[in-house]
Structure 1
């Protein structure tokens, strides 16, 4: 398995993976799968900020992807990102999510990011919660009934991982570019 930056040419495969999770899962609160073109626009917005948008592939087959986006667009949040990770049906449990998300975290640390937040859809999402815990994220809380999808109220689980000393010292980089992109 290799981890590499996602490109425009990968968007059909990523749209298939993400579309599956939109239609059948609770890890995202979207209800209509975006097109490959829309996903590419989102990817380009992430990459323009210098943030990682990576995929995992094996023998030319895309198995999953992960990226980090700005947590919020207010200036004080410029050292905090929110991660996202999605794995293709049938590829779960093979280390795909762990490999892709680990690479995203490493890239964020290199950029001087201090906090990575995971906002996990569904308090019963054992796979994502376990993945984040295994990568050093700590549980910060549960927001009950934050979304309504597939005929039921869905919780969110907040998890967080400090990077580069977290809040223990002042930042040594300018942080994310949050406007003007």
Structure 2
């Protein structure tokens, strides 16, 4: 994929991020909400002060994805563990873009002395599970049938990667 670039997220990205998220809210069990996300949710996240990396992915000038790390829990005991999430517009997956984004995020997290990354994924999102496994994430938990969306149950699968 040519002309792909990455830059830190800004508040101006909120509408494009919202469009990507709400596509998955409406069309899959990958994003867990059953109702479209409101712009204030994205704006609030972008307004939070955080040292953790947050990036958008551009194809030319079009925002086609984003990824960011956030605290796993608020207690200082877990300060070296983060959760990571990323989303790409439909049609831009399986092109190596997600791997490039994760390389950037993981590199910055290493620099911040983060030791462990967690992700949680719908059992129906086989492509994401395979993607994360290919990047070295190992399954560390499976909560069976705890999600219910679009008339069916799904598992919530947790994966972990150690950076140190």
Aligned pairs, number:
161
Which runs of no fewer than 5 residues in structure 2 stay unpaired?
none
Q: CA deviation at 1:10?
A: 1.1
Matches within 5 A, 1:20-169: 20-45=23-48, 48-121=49-122, 123-163=123-163, 165=164
135-144 vs 52-61, which deviates more? 135-144
CA distance in 1, matches of 2:97, 2:39: 21
SS in 2 for 1:9: helix
Q: CA deviation at 1:9?
A: 1.1
Partner of residue 7 from structure 2, selected from 4, 9, 13: 4
Deviations 1:83-128 (A, max 9, x none): 111110111112222222221111111111110001112x131211
CA distance in 2, matches of 1:3, 1:21: 22
Does the 8 A contact of 1:52 with 1:67 survive in 2? yes
Does the 8 A contact of 1:56 with 1:99 survive in 2? no
TM-score by length of 2: 0.92
CA distance in 1, matches of 2:98, 2:6: 11
| Residue of structure 2 in register with 1:13 after alignment | 16
| Residue of structure 2 in register with 1:174 after alignment | none
Which runs of no fewer than 5 residues in structure 1 stay unpaired?
166-181
Does the 8 A contact of 2:53 with 2:109 survive in 1? yes
